[in-house]
């Protein structure tokens, strides 16, 4: 059966940023009525594209990504600050020219594979129901948060007063296609690449 799945093409942060995000996520979760931690099954990430695609198109999509990545190398980025958007809290990442170019290339290339929304497209825990927010966010990603509306970030959690911090430089060399879970979490890496130096 050619199932529709919700995917997220992401940059995976290096160890120090990964661990910092996970630690802050736990602190945020401990102060929230509804704990949603980052961990090894809810991966810290910088989203580049989200879409509904057919599982049978995975090889074509992976080949398309590989061709795009031939023109990109590791990315030097900065965690600029911790921001609050509605009830969500995140690291804001600087929008470099190369990061924007990678985002646009991927959004443009994935368009031909995009499918209609599906509530069955997500990885869910036993008894869990996907939220309307997640379903609609993926469905409207291109229209609402791509191109000029793209804000690179790493989501940390919900309902937390952002703290002051010094900007932190880091280098990203991992890009992955992940299967999305509820709340647009990255639950499972389907394919991963290393960016050349």
Domain locations in the chain as residue ranges:
4-194
Domain 4-194 coded CATH 3.40.600.10: no
- How many CA atoms are closer than 13 Å to the CA of 159, on its beta-carbon side? 9
Which strand ranges, in their side-by-side order, compose the sheet holding 46-54? 46-54, 4-12, 174-180, 186-194
Give the CA distances from residue 195 to residues 50, 97, 186, in Å, rounded to whole numbers and listed in that order.
Answer: 20, 16, 20
Q: How confident is the model at residue 36 (pLDDT cuts 50, 70, 90)?
A: low
Mean pLDDT on 132-159: 94
Please say if the pLDDT value at position 20 is more than 90.
yes
Out of 19-23, 95-99, 161-165, give the one with best mean pLDDT. 95-99
Residue recorded with tokens 């031939």: 70
Mean pLDDT on 91-117: 98
Please say if the pLDDT value at position 24 is more than 70.
yes
* φ and ψ of 112, to 5 deg: -70, -15
More confident residue, 8 or 28: 8
pLDDT of residue 1: 66
């Amino acid at each position: 059966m050619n199932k529709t799945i919700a995917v997220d093409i992401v940059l995976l942060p290096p160890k120090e940023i990964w661990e910092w995000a996970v630690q802050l996520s736990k602190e945020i979760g401990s102060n929230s009525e509804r704990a949603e931690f980052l961990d090894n099954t809810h991966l810290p990430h910088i989203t580049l594209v989200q879409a509904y695609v057919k599982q049978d198109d995975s090889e074509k999509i992976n080949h398309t990504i590989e061709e795009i990545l031939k023109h990109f190398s590791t990315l030097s980025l900065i965690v600029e600050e911790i921001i609050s958007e509605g009830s969500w809290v995140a690291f804001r990442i600087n929008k470099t020219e190369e990061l924007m170019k990678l985002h646009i290339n991927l959004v443009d290339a994935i368009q031909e594979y995009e499918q209609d929304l599906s509530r069955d497209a997500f990885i869910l825990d036993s008894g869990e129901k996907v939220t309307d927010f997640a379903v609609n966010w993926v469905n409207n990603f291109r229209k609402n948060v791509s191109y000029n509306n793209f804000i690179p970030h790493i989501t940390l959690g919900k309902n937390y007063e952002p703290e002051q911090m010094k900007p932190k430089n880091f280098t990203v060399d991992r890009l992955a296609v992940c299967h999305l879970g509820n709340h647009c979490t990255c639950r499972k890496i389907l394919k991963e690449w290393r960016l050349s130096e």
